[in-house]
Structure 1
Amino acid sequence: MLNGPLLVTERLILRPPAAEDFDAFAAMCTEEETMRFIGGACSRSAAWRQWCTLAGAWHIRGFSMFSVIERSTGEWVGRLGPWEPDGWPAPEVGYGVRASFAGKGYAFEGAVAACDFAIEFLKWPQLMHCIDPANTRSQALAKRLGAANAGATRLPPPFETAPVDAWTQSADQWRQKRKEF
């Protein structure tokens, strides 16, 4: 059952999380390097709680991160999209893909669709990406999307001690950058 929008790109389908995606998400949550900057690797039961949070946010907020599906294979690639947990510094477009899909441009392709969705459908006045100062790969993606480091910000508990910078751009800056893609 689809409980939200379906976004289609050249290689990807973005849709709300579904029950059949959970095993792949739980596997991603065990990948130390993948999870290093997005909450840390965790057990299947902790992954379940995260998964239900992502799915539930669609019902509570009307948006959340999408499941990213590779069109050619139907494989679950990762999760990315608009996200605003209670106490977050601002609405965010976050991204994370499984190790086996890293380096293929899927995070960029999906993030472009998610940023379009946030600006044009959700009517966000700005985009933000919360990025650990040591996460150079995520910083490179944020730069490619047109965001700039606006400096340190703070996440709510239990992440309040995590170092994080807010990478931002206005809706108008996004629309201008979007013409380049």
Structure 2
Amino acid sequence: MTFAPAPILETDRLILRAPVAEDFDVYAAWAAEEEVMRYIGGAQVRAVAWRGFCSIVGAWTVRGFSMFSVLEKSSGRWIGRTGPWQPDGWPGTEVGWALARETWGKGYATEGAVACMDYVFDTLGWAEAIHTIDPANAASQAVAKKLGSTLKGLAKMPAPFDHLPAECWSQTRAEWAQNRKRFG
């Protein structure tokens, strides 16, 4: 199966595009930060970050969708990842986000996730979008709530993540059609 090239999504302050090789150095530095990675598996050495980065890039070919690199329009700098995600064995069709620490509290996670929610429902045709969130990650829970997602219970994660606690937040396409109105 051949998929269309990855789209470029734009919001008021962000550009979301498929990752490219030039993103890797800043991605690796981001993935090495303990605070950034606290709730998504822990800090990674460069070799492990490379495997994760290539997994995201490769999913565009294998699945036809994957996480986007998030670029701040005003500076052009890479500030994280957001987007659709569904590795083998994942508990559902996910829209996830993880941004650089210096951007926290600016509303970028919500802004990028709104664009991705539109994309997964309007373009990919998903019936539901989930968010797997560590129960201690209040900031990501707040983003899920802003999106209108609700806590459905604990998620059963695949190995090697099966030992990590994860809540499953979600909403359907019909729920998003209503929740989307609050974002204009």
Task: Sort the TM-score into its range (normalised by shorter chain).
Answer: over 0.9
Measured in 2, the distance between the counterparts of 1:36 and 1:109 equals 22
CA deviation vs aligned residue, 1:71-110 (integer Å, no higher than 9, x gap): 1111001001000000001010010001111111111100
The equivalent of 1:10 in structure 2 is: 12
Match of 1:54 among 36, 46, 56: 56
Measured in 2, the distance between the counterparts of 1:57 and 1:3 equals 12
Measured in 2, the distance between the counterparts of 1:101 and 1:18 equals 21
Measured in 1, the distance between the counterparts of 2:125 and 2:135 equals 28
The equivalent of 1:43 in structure 2 is: 45
Q: Is the 8 A contact 1:93 1:129 kept in 2?
A: yes
The equivalent of 1:124 in structure 2 is: 126
**Cα root mean square deviation, aligned:** 1.0
State the 1:3 CA deviation: 4.0
Partner SS state of residue 7, structure 2: coil
Partner SS state of residue 15, structure 2: strand
TM-score by length of structure 2 reads 0.96
Measured in 1, the distance between the counterparts of 2:100 and 2:5 equals 23
Paired residues, number: 180
Measured in 1, the distance between the counterparts of 2:116 and 2:125 equals 12
For 1:118, give the aligned amino acid: V
Structure 1 stretch 77-86 or stretch 98-107: which is displaced more?
98-107
- The percentage of counterpart residues that share the same residue type is 53
Q: How does 1:77-156 map to 2 (within 5 A)?
A: 77-156=79-158
CA deviation vs aligned residue, 1:23-49 (integer Å, no higher than 9, x gap): 111111111111011121010111000
Query: After TM superposition, what 4+ stretches of structure 1 lie above 2 angstroms from structure 2?
Result: none
The equivalent of 1:21 in structure 2 is: 23
Q: Is the 8 A contact 1:3 1:16 kept in 2?
A: no
Consecutive unaligned residues of structure 1, counting only runs of 5 or more, are: none
For 1:111, give the aligned amino acid: A
Measured in 1, the distance between the counterparts of 2:104 and 2:28 equals 17
The equivalent of 1:75 in structure 2 is: 77
CA deviation vs aligned residue, 1:51-73 (integer Å, no higher than 9, x gap): 00000000000000000001111
Consecutive unaligned residues of structure 2, counting only runs of 5 or more, are: none
Partner SS state of residue 179, structure 1: helix
